[in-house]
Amino acid sequence: MSGFVFGEKPIGIESGEGVHLYGEDGTEYLDFGASYACAPVGHCHPDVVSAVEEQASDLLFVQGSYPTETRAALYDRLAGLAPGDCSNVWLCNSGTEANEAALKFARHATGREKVVAAKRAFHGRTLGALAATWKPKYREGFAVPENVEFVDYGDSEALAEAVDEETAAVLLEPVQGEGGVNPAPEGYLAAAREACDDAGAALVFDEIQTGLGRTGSLWACENAGVEPDVLTVAKGLASGLPIGATLCAGWIAEDAGNHGSTFSGGPVPCAAALATLDVIEDEGLAGHASEVGAHFQSELADLPVRDVRGEGLLVGVEVKRGANRALPSLAMEHGILALPAGRTVVRFLPPLTVSEGDVETVASALEAVL
């Protein structure tokens, strides 16, 4: 049986350019979620394509223990962009691997095992990351580790009570994505920082969906003015090529234990990541996401919906009749691809290059569907 992991949608994609994807029959779709935040600079940005082609013609792959100029450049670039002291870089292939590494590193550095995570969190599907993922249906039948304590997201008192001398790490999304697009309440991330400092635990921010300018700053934690001990990033880092990174503070890196990966820092994804970071910076996409995202939320606020929330171009709309009833109509009748975030929330994760006209088109289409 082929394709048994993913349920396929009735839309075959042939190509992409900028904010659009094109079906096998030539139908044009506005991508407000099909790429799962993996196309921050738009599909097939010429600078990224050129970097990939140039690197592929020189060296497709060599294992990470052999230094390459491209990998070294990405190490330096990420170290320079990292918040606070998180300038030690581990490269991998996906977000779940980045979170898996973060949990291993924190446990080894602290000598502890317990992890505190939030209800409605999503951190990945390998066993360690899956243990910190809230939704039971993802964990069912996989015998995941049980040393994770879940607390209500946004409840500072519950978080402080859960973090103790047995806690290795607190793992949080600055804005929950899969769990319903829930921004952290004011002061919550700072309270997590204080709780970790008091207990000697590591504060880990999962910025796999929120990072790279999506929320209006390069990292969402910058909006709250809070620096983690570990930050994870993936998805759009290489414009959809498989790469992830775990950025660690010095005290974590000094005693991170033994970890490895065959494909860590492959030259082609590294080249794509460097080009993607260049475009995000050169085109001011974080600031653009802030401005267009605010306009998008203002357009959506006039619709007959329960709530509109998010930061930048990570936007959730809680609808009255269920997300899965709205999404097929958006796609098939209006050519707009979006995502659910639970049963009642329509989630929008477009390329950061979308225009105000694009978000107005989406708001109008959602109004028609509702």
> Which residue ranges make up the annotated binding site for substrate?
125, 261
CB atoms within 10 A of CB 343: 11
Q: How far apart are CA 284 and CA 236, in angstroms?
A: 16
Annotated binding residues for pyridoxal 5'-phosphate, as ranges?
95-96, 122, 206-209, 262
**Cβ of 23: how many Cβ atoms within 10 Å?**
14
If we measure between CA atoms, which residue out of 131, 112, 109 comes closest to residue 122?
131
Rounded (10°) angle between helices 267-282 and 46-58: 150
Q: Which residues are annotated as a binding site?
A: 95-96, 122, 125, 206-209, 261-262
CA distance 281 to 258: 34
- What's the Cα-to-Cα distance from 190 to each of 20, 156, 231, rounded to whole Å? 38, 9, 15
What's the alpha-carbon Rg for the chain, to the nearest Å?
Answer: 20
DSSP annotation of 84: T
- CA 102 to centroid of chain Cα atoms: 15
Is-contact 70 223, C-beta < 8 A?
no
Cross-sheet strand order for the sheet of 244-248: 88-92, 244-248, 230-233, 202-206, 167-172, 114-118, 148-151
E-assigned strands of 215-293?
A: 230-233, 244-248
